Chains A and B, each alone.
Chain A
Amino acid sequence: MAATPTREVARRVFASEFNDASYTFKESDDERAPVYVLLPTGERANRVFLVGTLTETEDVGEDSEYWQGRVVDPNGDTFFMYAGQYQPDAASMLRELEPPAYVAVVGKPRTYETDDGDVNVSVRPESISQVDEATRDRWVVETAQRTLDRIQAFDDEDSAEMDEYVQMASEQYDLPVENYRRAAVGALESLEGEQRDAPEA
C-alpha cells in the first residue's frame, strides 16, 4: 500500500476537559510530525470537532485581523478559537456571524503559555459552519458517549496492559476524571430539560 498519511480523527470533548488538556507531545522527531494534546481522560487529540453556541466574536488583532470566537457548551464552559490570515475561511465566518448562533467547528488544538505560567488551550479552526439545534443535540449525546468511553477505559484497572495514553494522562495530570463524568451528566441533563420544556409537537 502507498504510504498515504492517514487523516487524524476529530475527537469529541466537552470544553471543561479540553481546557484542562495543557500537555502536548509529538510521537516522532520529524519536524512535521503531528502535535497532540493529551486529554485528561487518556486520549491524544490532534483534531477536534465541536458544536456549541457562538456567544461572542471580536477582532483582537493589532496589525492585521485576528478573530477570537467564544463557543459555549451546554455546561456553560467556553471553547476559545482564534483565526487570522492563515485561516481565511474561518476568519471570515467569525467576521460575518451574528452571535448567538449554533456553530460546528473542526479545528486543531493549540496551547499557549501565559506570562504567569498558565497554559491556555484553544482551537485553531479549519472550518466553521452555522448549524441547527438538532446537530448541537446530537453532538452533545455523542460527546457524552465518547467521554464516558474514555473514562471507562481510564478506570479499567484490571486491563493487563494499560493504554499508553491513559498511563500518560495519569502521569502528566493530577485531575480526577470524575469531573469529566459530571460534565457529561450536566450536558445531558440540560438537553433533557430542554426537551421536557419543548411544546408537544
Chain B
Amino acid sequence: MQNGEGRMANGELKMTNQKDSPHSQFAIRHSAFKVDRTSPPPPGEIRPFRFPPFLRTRLANGLTVAAARLPGLPLISIEMVSPAGGQFDPEGQEGIAALSAAVLDEGTVRRSSMEIAAFAERLGGYFTSGADWDVGYLATGLLADHLVSGLELLAEVAVSPTFPEAEIERLRRQRLAEILRRAHDPSALADDRFQREVYRGTVYAHPLLGDRESISRLDRDSLSAFYRRHYGLAGSALIAVGDFEPAALLREVERAFALAAPLPAAPAPPEIRPAPLPGISVHVVDRPGAAQTELRLGHPGVPRTHPDHVPLVVLNTLLGGKFTSRINMNLRERHGYTYGASSRFAARMGPGPFLVSAAVATQSAGAAAREVLHELQRIREALVEPEELDETRSYIVGVFPYTVQTIGDLAKRLETLIVFGLPDDHYTRNLERIAGVSREEILEVARRHLDPERIAVVAVGPAETLEPQLAGLGAVTVWGPQEELEPVQPGSM
C-alpha cells in the first residue's frame, strides 16, 4: 500500500509536466511490439497481491477492534457491529432487531436525533444504523480529519441511547408506510414470499422490517430491553478503515468507550432448522397487468461457516455467480428471457437461502423456471467441464484484489471475519483452497446442497398468464399482492 507516496507536502495538486503542452503527437510506425490478433495475447509477469495488513485485538472493556490503514484518500469508515440481528427477533416481536437498531441514533443523553445526523453530515459524512439477519450495526463515514469526533459520536450513540418516545413513534409510522410501499414493489414481493414459503415456522420467514401487527406492538420498553440484551461491548466489535494509524486509533477507542456501562453477555444465536420442502411448490403473487415477472427459485442453504463453504463458492460462481455462469448464459444470452439471472448462497450465521433470481418476460416465465431447474439438475448429474472449472477458479482468485479497493470493501471483509469468527488469514487460505477444488468435489457438493426436486418457485406477475405456464411444475398457490392477504384461491394440492 504505497498509494500515499503521490501526495505532496505543499498542499497543491500534483499535475503532469505535460498539462500545459499541446497533445504530444505520438505515432509508432516501427514498433518493436508486434500484435497477433488471432488468439489471446500471452500474459505478462504476475504481480503479487497481499491482503492489506490489519490489526485485530480485544480491549479491556471487552470490545473487539479491527482496523486497517488504507492511505491515499482522506476518508474513514467506522462501524460497530453487535449480535443483534433479525435472527434474535422473538415470536410476536418480528422487526424488533431492525427497529431497535434504527432508533439507536435517534437520541443520546447529549444529543437529539437531528443533532446526531447534522454533526456527521456537516463533516461531509453520514451516520446510520440498522440490522441484517446476524448483526445490528452503527456506522459513520467522514473526512479523515474528523476521526476522533466521529469515533466519539459513535461511542456516545452505542453506550447512551435514550430511545425517545416521539422518535419511536415517528419511525413506526415510517415503517408502516414502508410496508405499504413494499406491497407494490415486485422484487420485494418476490423476496418476501420466497422467504415466507421456504422458512415457514422459523425466524427467517418474516421480513426483517417486521409486519404491521408486530411493529404496532413494539414499544420503548421492549426496544430498550432488546438493546440492553444485545449491544454489550463484550459481544460487539468496532471496525475502522481509512487513512489513520491503527495504533493511535486503539487509544482513541479506549478513551471514547471509557464510560460504557458493562452489560450482560448477549444470548447465543438461535438454532434455525428449516424443514426440507416437501416437493416443488409454486407460488404466484398476482399483479394483473404487470409488465414483467419477478422469478425466484430456491430452498434453504447452509451457514456461512459450513465446512463446504469453499467448494460451494466455486459451485455457485460457475452456476450463477458471474456473467458467464451457466444460468445467465442460458437465460440471457441463449434465450433472451431476461436482462440478467444470478444465483447465490446467502452468507448468514444460520442456514440462509440458496436463491436464483431473475426478472423475466412474462410469456417466458415457465420456460425460464424450467431452464433453471434443468441447470440445477444438470450440475448434479455430470462433472463440470475441466475448462469451465479452470475459468471459474481463476476468476474467483483473480478478481479478489478488485473487491478490496475501497474503505467500504475492506471494512466489509473485516466484518465478515468477526461476525463469522474466522481467522486472520482466512482470505489468503481460502484463495489457496479454491485453486485446489476439483470437479468431483463440485459434483459432491452440488448433490449435497442443491435440490431441484424440493424447491420453491415464486413468480410475481399476472397470475392469469403465469398459472398455466407453471402448473406443470408442482402445486400452484396464487396470492394477492398484499402480503397480509390470504391466498386468493386454494392451492391445487
Does B associate with A?
A: no
Binding site for A on B (CB under 8 A): none
